[in-house]
């Protein structure tokens, strides 16, 4: 799902691209815990804490490229050749490390092994909001070429493998921020050619009142699962 409006309502909390991290959870396979990038947000809120934000009154409208893959082609070619991939925020204008916040042109490549075959797939974070919700793609080598095996339908802020898999390709859980204490998520499963959504959910860190009358955010979220309804 492409976004045509970028709402910069929380200010630039961190330089560059967003974040994809792995959750600690009983349902995650211990040997697959990875961290692709450093997060700029809080994966598990601590009681009584709320992220500090700085709001802006203006909204900036920008056109989002409908064919972003052309921006990544030089990095894809390096990956196909087996050359070193620098896992840092790059500018599609120079293909050097980005020195400003430019969600349309900045992107971040990362390498992950999706099926434990020893060959790492190429993940790309792009078009990230200041809070770290990003467009997300994963590419797999096929001989001397490649194919796209995942295009996130709802963006990604947090990413983790689940225990379940299909033909050694691990199921994926991806979450995005909604508000400071809530968001949405999608579980993806490989179908032999690509990853498709199989379940969706929303989550919230519920607020309760302690004995002193203070509002406290719970340490872990509650989840509501439902069937996905994304347009093909």
Q: CA 156 to CA 60: how far, in whole Å? A: 21
Q: CA 98 to CA 105: how far, in whole Å? A: 9
Give the DSSP H or E segment for 70.
helix 69-80
Could you read off the pLDDT of 94-137 as tens digits, one per residue?
999 999 999 999 999 999 999 999 999 999 999 999 889 999 99
Could you read off the pLDDT of 14-60 as tens digits, one per residue?
334 455 544 434 454 443 333 333 332 323 333 333 333 333 444 44
Percent of the chain with pLDDT over 90: 62
Q: Measured in whole angstroms, how far is the alpha carbon of residue 71 from the centre of its chain? A: 18
SS3 assignment, position 77: helix
Q: CA 2 to CA 154: how far, in whole Å? A: 8
Burial class (CB in 10 A: 0-12, 13-18, 19+), 28: middle
Q: Using alpha carbons, list the distances in angstroms from residue 184 to 140, 155, 175.
A: 26, 10, 6
pTM: 0.73
Res. 232 pLDDT band, cuts 50 70 90? low
């Amino acid at each position: 799902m492409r976004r045509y409006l970028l709402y910069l309502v929380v200010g630039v909390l961190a330089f560059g691209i967003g974040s994809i991290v792995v959750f600690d959870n009983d349902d995650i396979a211990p040997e697959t815990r990875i961290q692709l990038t450093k997060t700029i947000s809080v994966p598990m809120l601590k009681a009584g804490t709320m992220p500090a934000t700085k709001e802006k009154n203006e909204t900036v409208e920008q056109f989002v490229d409908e064919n972003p893959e052309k921006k990544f082609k030089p990095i894809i070619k390096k990956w196909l050749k087996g050359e070193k991939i620098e896992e840092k925020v790059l500018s599609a204008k120079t293909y050097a490390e980005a020195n400003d916040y430019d969600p349309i042109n900045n992107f971040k490549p990362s390498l992950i092994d999706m099926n434990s075959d020893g060959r790492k797939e190429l993940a790309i974070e792009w078009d990230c909001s200041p809070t770290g919700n990003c467009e997300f793609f994963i590419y797999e080598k096929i001989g001397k070429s490649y194919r796209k095996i995942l295009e996130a339908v709802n963006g990604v802020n947090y990413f983790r493998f689940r225990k379940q898999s299909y033909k050694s390709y691990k199921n994926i859980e991806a979450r995005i921020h909604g508000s400071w204490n809530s968001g949405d998520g999608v579980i993806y499963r490989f179908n032999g050619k690509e990853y498709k959504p199989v379940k969706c959910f929303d989550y919230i860190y519920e607020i309760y009142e302690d004995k002193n009358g203070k509002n406290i955010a719970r340490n872990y979220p509650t989840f509501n699962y439902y069937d996905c309804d994304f347009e093909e």
